[in-house]
Amino acid sequence: MLIKIRKSWHLSESDATPEAVFKNRRTFLKGTAAALAAPVAGALVSPARAGWEPGVKLPGVVKSKYTVDEPSTPFKDVASYNNFYEFGTGKDDPVKNAKDFVTKPWTVEIAGEAANTGTFDVDDLIRPHQLEERIYRHRCVETWSMIVPWVGVPLGDIIKRLEPTSKAKYVAFETLYDPERMPGQKRRVLQWPYVEGLRMDEAMHPLTLMTVGVYGEVMPPQNGAPVRLIVPWKYGFKGIKSIVKITFTEDEPPTSWNRSAPHEYGFYANVNPDVAHPRWSQAKERLIGEFFKRPTLMFNGYAQEVAGLYTGMDLAKYY
């Protein structure tokens, strides 16, 4: 008898996201340009044409099979309780300091070990793909968590079109550096610009999402507009925001928090209740909106999907 095991992210028939409870290189190289820019059935209508303005509904979004069986955190909390040090270190600093942050036009430089490198409008990276709403658990290293309906496309689909070479073992990311527009960068709390990285198999995993929206709408600046990374089995600081550069590299790239405090923040940053932060336990977390803490789940509840990426690794050493 074939027994079908329901994965943690499968969509049940009753699942829906109620809104009340809850947007240069000339193009890609000639010869690949048509394939890269060609729309697919039901694909995204250009976010740039949708305005890239917070509050604007993203057209053509489909519900994904990737979801969790819990109510989503209210939008007001998702949009107002943020870690985004480029706009300040307080949780309410980003929503105040990013309100006038302009995200159009926006380009992303592609560099390193790949066939298709250059500078591209963010729209050209995203537009050929179907936008999906994925409800993910989101775990911060500070032990708070949210359940968020992100909107985006699989990073792996974008990477395939960029055609990394066999030398590309890692993918590095870089945030915009502009202290006049991002006043938090005037303080030396980190070495700017913010940088992050993934191993190639992590970047290609179907759960890894290049995200342009939340709650079906264009991403607000305080949440990382216009494009950010979401890797749901890792702590939130891996989710680099306002990305302006992606580099394919043979060597493990530096990451901001690991560079700042290597004894506290590792390259992998996998959610692991058994590995404590030097200043607090990671065994429990508090979901925003709940009073009592709940046990932290290994890999943030995505162990069934991602544990195989780390077979044979000492997860206390490679934290």
Q: Which two tokens stand for residue 6?
A: 């329901």
Dihedral sign from CA coordinates of 225, 228, 234, 235? negative
Determine the structural domain holding residue 194 and report its residue range.
Answer: 33-310
Residue 204 Cα distances to 11, 151, 164, angstroms: 22, 18, 11
109: Cβ contacts below 8 Å, ≥ 6 apart: 118, 119, 120, 244, 245, 246
pLDDT of residue 140: 97
Is 316 part of any domain?
A: no
Q: Give the lowest-confidence range in 51-55, 57-61, 95-99, 110-114.
A: 51-55
Instruction: Tell me which of 207 and 29 has the higher pLDDT.
Output: 207
**What is the structure's pLDDT at 29?**
37
Secondary structure element (H or E) that encloses residue 204, with its range: helix 200-204
pLDDT of residue 47: 41
More confident site: 61 or 49: 61
Rg (CA), the chain: 19
- 15 lies in some domain: no
Residue 95's pLDDT band (boundaries 50, 70, 90)? very high
Look at 36 and 279; give whichever has higher pLDDT: 279
Phi and psi for 143 in degrees, rounded to 5? Answer: 80, 15
Sheet holding 195-199, edge to edge: 118-121, 107-112, 243-249, 170-175, 195-199
Within a domain: 318:
no
| Inside any domain, residue 101 | yes
27 assigned to some structural domain: no
Residue 104 lies in a domain: yes
Average pLDDT over residues 27-34: 39
What is the reported pLDDT for 55?
Answer: 77
**What tens digit of pLDDT does each residue of 145-157 get?**
999 999 999 999 9
Ordered alpha helix ranges (H), 27-175 = 33-37, 47-50, 75-78, 93-97, 122-126, 155-162
| Residue 39 backbone dihedrals phi, psi, to 5 degrees | -70, 150
Instruction: Count structural domains, the chain.
Output: 1
Assigned domain for 56 exists: yes
- Does residue 253 sit within a domain? yes
Q: What pLDDT digit, counting tens, does each position of 186-213 carry?
A: 999 999 999 999 999 999 999 999 999 9
For the residues 102-115, what does the mean pLDDT come to?
97
Banded model confidence at residue 28, pLDDT cuts 50, 70, 90: very low
Q: What confidence tens digit (pLDDT) does each residue in 296-308 have? A: 999 999 999 999 9
Region of 215 on the Ramachandran plot (φ > 0 left; ψ -120 to 50 alpha; else beta): left
Least trusted range by pLDDT, from 12-26, 104-118, 221-235, 268-282:
12-26
CATH number of the domain to which 235 belongs: 3.90.420.10
* Main-chain dihedrals φ then ψ at residue 204, nearest 5 degrees: -85, -10
